[in-house]
Structure 1
Amino acid sequence: MTEEEPSYAKALQKAFRALAARDRSEREIRTRLKTGKFDDGTVDSVVKRLYELGYLDDAAVARRWARNLAAERLMSNRRIEARLAERGLERGAVRDALEEVRREISEAAAVRKILRKEIGRTPLPAGTKERQKMVRRLMGLGFPPEAVFDNIREIGNEEEDIP
């Protein structure tokens, strides 16, 4: 056995442990292995093997993370793009994932859910200051102005229709 084989095996095991904990991007795996003092050749070999085995798939990771952030955490596209870029996913994969996810839950639907959650059973604040505060908060979360204003207007109209 050469010295390279144990190093490769250790690097592969480290990568498997990281992937067992949660989905990871190629960049995250590379970073973990490099901090583990593995040389570039070993890291490249391990990453190549992980792709061959189907354990690394940045496009699938982008879809899963985007879906979770959009549906569960109700994040805007802008926030999701930033979060996934931090994880080392390519912009193209992120945009494709967002396009797919937004067919299921639009940004407008996320804004509506946030508004319903915040308002609860109480009526939409009638005062301009309170509404402006809600608008600033939602736009601060990265939602587009039209989605915010349309939903506030829609919820306000629904409340006016209630006898």
Structure 2
Amino acid sequence: MNHRARRRRSVRGDLSAERTRGADGALSDDGRDIQADPEQRARAIVMRLLAHQPRTRAELERVLRRRGIPDPVIESVMDRFTDVGLIDDAAFARAWVESRHAGRGLARRALAHELRRRGVDEEHVDAAVGRLSPETELATARALVTRRLRAVSHLDGRTRTRRLMAMLVRKGYSPAMAFRAIRDVLDDRDGNLTDDERSAVEALGDAVDALEDAVESPADD
């Protein structure tokens, strides 16, 4: 067993004992009242939170501040947990991207937004979402359109296309990728598009082109 693994087991054992003894206001091993000792209290709080689900360092820090733990104590406890691998924002970000993309079909833009809201550093955000290739995103977008198409099949072509576009954009797909996914799925269905669908897709394509032109060539101030 390497040094870091031994330290991780030691920290888990120590903090598990602190949590058990602190539940009824008892003393820690060195005779300190856990409720009166902010560092012991912070460790017990963090262990309870991590036992429930993985959390980012920033999320844990926010909880500790709400509980009245002083900032120097928070930093010390967070550093210790990070050092032994119990807090790992890079691993959290990777797992979040994998789970949320597979489970909800979220694209890189939406995933990055969620990670930033949870306080993950930009470096870890970029690395995690960068593992999701454009090809994988497009395949997922097509699957979402195929699944959603059944629920909007009764609508006219323009309304159906707008609904599909809105669904993908809400999940973080760019207008260009959303358009491509919709066009591909509708074009592949039964071999070709109906006239109504073709008109709707062409109109959507024109709107996407206009949007991209506006982004690439902003008006002068």
Same fold? TM cut 0.5 = yes
Aligned residue number for residue 34 of structure 1 = 65
Question: Higher RCO, 1 or 2 (CA under 8 Å, sep at least 6)?
Answer: 1
Counterpart of 2:129? 98
Give per-residue Cα distances to partners, 1:5-59, cap 9 Å, x unaligned. Answer: 9321111011111111111111111111111111112111111110122101111
Which one of the candidate residues 36, 41, 53 is aligned to 2:84?
53
Q: Note the residue ranges of structure 1 that are not aligned, 5 or more in a row.
A: none
Residue pairs, 1:1-163, within 5 angstroms? 6-100=37-131, 102-103=132-133, 106-120=136-150, 127-161=157-191
Residue 72 of structure 2 aligns to a residue whose secondary structure is helix
Q: Against the structure 1 CA distance between its residues 131 and 64, is the aligned structure 2 distance closer, same or farther, given a 3 Å change threshold?
A: same
Deviates more, 1:3-12 or 1:72-81: 3-12
Cα distance between partner residues in 2 of 1:157 and 1:97? 33
Q: Which segments of 5 or more consecutive residues in structure 2 lack a partner in the other structure?
A: 1-30, 193-221
Could you tell me how far apart the structure 2 residues matched to 1:133 and 1:2 are? 61
Identity of aligned residues (%): 23
**Alpha-carbon displacement from aligned partner over 1:107-129 (angstroms, at most 9, x marks no partner):** 21221121121124986966233
SS at match of 2:47: helix
